[in-house]
Amino acid sequence: MSLVRRAVAEDAEEVLRLRQVMIASMTPDAPTDWQAESLPGLRERLADPDGSFAAFVVDHPERPDALAALVVGTLEYRIGGPGRPGNGLIGYVFSVATDPDARRRGYARACMDELLEWFRERGAGHVMLTASPDAEPLYASLGFTRDTTPSMRLYL
């Protein structure tokens, strides 16, 4: 039996806590005031097992009601193009996090395996993510390669 399970609405606060662990690993003084506003929408998405959003988690082995690891992904439609024919579905991975006291146990890898299978079952042609330097070896071992496409952002 797998340690990994699909997150449900009742996991939302713990999902946000682990997302903050990930954010703090890159930006130690990152604010947390975003969590209360994010909670209702996250609960709604976690409650929809047929939606385009999925989170896979491992329960913390030493702390009841806590999560040890988390991966979150969305399935998106993009118009096909060179190197991307087919149905236009792509997976996007974000919020990969492991509680500091539960690291080096393979939990993030196990969650990633489940998320990648979820993408495959839904017909995603490829999967994208942004890797921190610490996480890059994990993703490389799963077959991810560096993307040369430049990325830009606009906040609305």
pLDDT confidence of residue 85:
61
Contact criterion met (CB below 8 Å) for 120 and 142: no
Q: Specify the pTM.
A: 0.90
* Domain residue ranges of the chain, discontinuous segments joined by +: 4-141
Q: Tell me the average confidence (pLDDT) per consecutive run of 10 residues in the chain, 156 residues long.
A: 90 96 89 92 96 97 94 91 74 93 94 96 90 87 84 70
Residue with tokens 């921190």: 132
In whole angstroms, give the CA distance from residue 32 to residue 10.
20
Element (H, E) at 150: none
pLDDT confidence of residue 86:
66
Contact criterion met (CB below 8 Å) for 16 and 40: no
Please name the residue ranges forming H helices in the chain: 12-26, 35-46, 107-121, 136-141
In whole angstroms, give the CA distance from residue 18 to residue 27.
14
pLDDT confidence of residue 84:
64
pLDDT confidence of residue 146:
86
- Look up the CATH number of domain 4-141: 3.40.630.30
pLDDT confidence of residue 79:
83
Token representation of residue 134: 């610490």
